[in-house]
Structure 1
C-alpha cells in the first residue's frame, strides 16, 4: 500500500479544485480501461468473422482469457462467464495453458467474492495442471495466489510455505518480476503480525529487483506498499514521498484499482498526522473510484480508515455507518483482518455511546479474531523465515568482510605462491626419487619372483625324480628280482625244467605288468618335465580300443571277465592317438584290476555335437567318496590292490587326467562301494574341415 508527498492544501477552493481534477482523471482512467476491453472485444469479433474461424483456435481462446482478466475488479459476472467459456474451449482444443489460465481466472473470481475455499480449489487445479506439464511460469503464478488465499484465511504458516515454494521456482527460472511480487506478498504476512521492520526487508528486496527491471508500474506498486508500511511505522515523510511517486505513475498509466489503493494510503498518512479533514478528502477520492471497480478487500481498508477519521472528528454516528459497512463486507468475503479492525472500532463507538453490552460483544469478537490471526504456528513460521533472512544478511556481510580482508592480504598470497612453487619443486624431486626407488624395488621383486619360480620348478623336478626312483625301487625291483631268482634257481639246477615252465604264465603276467608300468612311467615323466608334445590328428577311436582289448584279453580271460566294445566302427575324434591309447589302456587295466572273476567291463562312446563322451564301466569293487577325491590329484600316490591282489603305481589316473586335458577334454568318475565304477572322459569330435582334408 503506497503514498505520495505533496504540500498540504490550506484553502477550501484548493480542495474543490483537486476534486474537479480528480473527477476528470477518474473519467480518463475509466475510459482507458474501457477502451482496452473494447479493443480485445473487437479483436475477438474480427477472429470470429474470419472465413476459417474455429472456436478451438488457441489465439481466440488466449484473447478470451485476457478479456476475462480485464474484467477483474470491474465486472466479476463477466469475469466468471468468460473464464468458464475459455475453460470449455481450452478442454476441447486440448490447450493446456488455456485450461490453466482459465482455472486461475475462476479462482480469482471466487477470491474476490470472498469464497476462499472455492478459490483455493480452482487455484489448486491450475497448479496441479501446470506442475504436470512443467509450465514453471504458471506454477509460480498459481502458487502465489494459493498462498494469498491461505493468508486471507489467517493460516500464515501454510501461506508462507507456498510463497517460499513459488519464490524458489521463480528464482531458478529467473522470473524476476514474479520474485518481486512474491516478496511483496511475504512482506504483507509480516505486516499482519505488525513486524514492520521485517516486512520492509522484503519490500526493499522487491524494490531492488524493479530498479533492475526498469518497469515504472511494477515499481509504483511496490512503492505504494512501502508507503503504507512507513505510515504504520510513523515514518510519515517517507510514506508521503513514496505514495506521491506511486500516484503520479498510476494517474499517468490510468490503472484504476491501484490508484484507488494509493488514494486510500494517502488518506491513512493524513490520518496518522491527525489531519482528519485531509484524510477524509483522499478517502473519498478512493471511495469514488471504488464505485467503478469491484475490490471488496481494498474497500474494507478504506471503510475502516474513514471510520477512524470520523471518530477523530467526533462524528460517531457517521463513523458507525462506515464501521458497520466494513464489518458486514468483511463477513461477506471472509476477511478476518477486516472483521478484527471493524469490530474494534464498533467496540469504541458503542463504548462512547454507553452501550456496554454491544461494546463488550464487539470487543470479544475482536479479541477472538486477533488471537486466531496470531497463532503460535504462524508466528513460529514467520520467525523461522526472519531468522533465515538474518542469517543470509550476516552471511552476506561476512562475505564482504572476507573480501576486504583478502584484498589487504594479497602480498601474503604472493609470498605463499612463491613458497608453494619452491615446495612443489622439492616435492617433485622427492617424488622422482621415490619413483626411481619403486622401479628398483619392482626389479628386485621380479627377480625374487623369478628365483622363487625356478626354485619351485626345481623342487617339482626333484619330487618327480624321487617319485620315479620310488616306483622303480618298489614296484619294478620286486617283480624283476623274483624273475632273477627263478632264473638263478633254474641255472644252478635247483629247479627242474617242468617246474620252471609252471612259473612261465606267472612270469609273463609280471613281465607285462613291468612293461605297462614302464610305459606309464615314461609317459608321466615326459609330461612332468615338459617333454610331452600333444599332436592332434584324426583318430579312429574303435581301432585303439580293439588293440587295447586284444592286448589285455589274456588278463581278462584269466579272471573270466567279459570285455564289451560298444564303440561304433567309424567313431573318429580329434586327438593325439598315442595319448588316447595310454588313456584307454589305463582305464581298461584299472577296470580289470578291480573287477572280480566272472565280471563285466563295457567301453563305449556317446557322440554329441562338439564332443565324444567315452566311458569305461565295470561291476567291480567300487570306491568311497574319500577315495574318489584323491584319484586325479597330480601329487597323489594313492594305490589300491585289485581283486586278485594286483598292485599299481598310482600314476595311471593322474596320467589320464593330464592327457585328457591336453586334448581339450574333461575326465570324471561315478562310483559306489560294491556297485562298480564308471569312468568318463570327453574328447573333441572331428571337425568338418578335418574330414575334408582327411
Structure 2
C-alpha cells in the first residue's frame, strides 16, 4: 500500500499549535471573551497588539477566519506604531492559520517575514518554532534538501535550548523527509528517536502520533505484521487526543492499515470518521487524501464506477491545492478501475497521464536539484568573501599587535608590582586550600562511616533475616518431617528456595560492593557491541519478567558500540533491569533504548510501573539513605544495587540519573563513552 509522500504522517508541528478539540471550544471562547474585555481597558498600543495576537491564537482552536482577522489587526497596528516583535508574532499566527486553510504560499511568506524579525530580536524560542513551521510547509514541495535544512536549523536551536518536546518534533520531521525519499531505515530510526523522547512523558497526543508515523512507514513497505503493535498503541491513545486536525490524520492512517490487511469494515469505519472531521473543520488536504483512500476501498470491493468518481474528486481537490505528488498513484488506480469495467480507452488515457505526471515530477526534482546546486554556489561565494575579509582583519590585527609590543617595556615596573601582590595572594590561597582539604577529609570520613554503617546494617539484618528463615524451616523439616502433609512440605521447601535465591542475590551485590570499595575490581575498557551486551545482561531475569507477563523491548541499535568495562557495565544493566521488573505492574512494559551523540551514548531503561516520590528519588544513589521498599510482588531489596550502578557508571566515565512520578513509571538514564 503506497502512502502519500505529502501526507507527512501526522506531523507534530501541527499538534503544537492546534491541539484542541470541540470539548475545549467553550473554554477557548471564554478566554476570547475575556481578552476582548481587556482590549477595551488597554491604553498602551503595544499591549493592544499583544492582546490581538493572544485572541488570534485562541481562535486558532475554533475559528480560523477569526484567527486570521485578529492577526491582521495586530499586524496593521504593529506596523503603525513600529513594534517589531508584535509584528513578527502576528506573521507567525497568520502562517499557522494559513496551513489549516491549505494556503501554503501565504504560510511560507509569513513565516519568512516573522523569521527575519525574530533573528533581529535574537528570539531563540520563536526562531526555533518558525524553522519548524517552514520545514513542515516546505515538505509539500519537491525540495527535500530545503526541508532537511530547515529541520537542521531548528535542531541546533532545540539542542541549545534543551527543549526535548521540540527535539521530538524535529526528529519526526527528519524521519518524514527520509520517508519521502523512500529511505526506510533512517526514516524508522528518526521516528523511533522521536518516540523514545515522548515515551517517558506519557503525552497521549505525542504517543499516538509517534506510533502512527512508524506504523504508516511499515504499512508502506508491506510490513503489516510488524505494524500491528504500533496500531494497537494508536487505537489506545486516540480517544485521549484533543486535536480534531490530528484525529482526522490518525483515522486516515488507521484506514490504510486495515485496507492493507483486508479488514474492510474497519477500514470503512475509519474513513467515515476522517470524513467527519475533515468536512466539519474544512480540512481540504485531508479530504483529498480521504477521497483517494475511499476510492481504494471501493476498488477492492469491486465497486468500480464509484471508485472512479472518488479518484476524480481527489484529483480535483489536489489540483486546487497545487499538489501533484499523488497524481501518478491516483491515475494508476483509476486505470485499474477502468480496465475492470472493460473501458480500455479510458484506462489507456489514465495510464498515459500516470506516466506524464511521473515524468513531470522527475523534471521538477531535477529542477529542484539544480536550484539547490545554485544555492550552494552562492553559499560558497559568500564563504570565499568572508575568508578574504577575515584575512584583511588578521593583517590589521597583526599591525595592532606590533604597536602594542612597543608599549610593553613601559609596563615592566607595573608587572613587578603585580608579581609581589601575586605572591601574597598565592600564600592566601594555599592557606584556604589547606582548610578546604581538611573539610574534604572530614566529608570523606563521614562517607566512609556511612558505608561502614550500611555494611553492618546489611550483615545484621538483610543478610541475617533470610538465613533465619532458611535455618528455621530446615530445622522444622528435619525434626518434624512426618507431621506435615506433602503440600505443606512443598510449601516450606519453596520458601527455602526463594529465600536462598534472595540471599544469594544480596550476597553477590554485597561482595561486588565490597570489592569495589577495596579497589579489587579492575576496569578494562574495550569496544563492546551494546545491543548484544543488553541481551546478555537481561537474560537471567527474563523468567521473572515472564512471571509478571511483562513486554520487553530492546530498541538499542545493533550497530551501536561503546567503550567501557564489560563486567561492570553488565552489572549496571542487570541491576536496572531487575529493578524495572521488581517495581513494574503485571502486564506492564520495559523499553531499553539508546541515543548516540558525538562523544557518548545515553542508555535508557524505562518501565510502566509504580514510579516513585520525590523523597525516594533524592535518596536513591546515597548509601547513607534508607529508601528501599518492596516490589509490586513483595520482592525484597536493599538499595545497594543502585549504589553499585552509580559507582560503576562513574568509573566508566559516565553519569546516571532518574526521571519518575508516582504511578507513572520510572526511566533510568546513564551515559557511556562511544567506541
- What's the TM-score once normalised by structure 2's chain length? 0.49
Higher radius of gyration, 1 or 2: 1
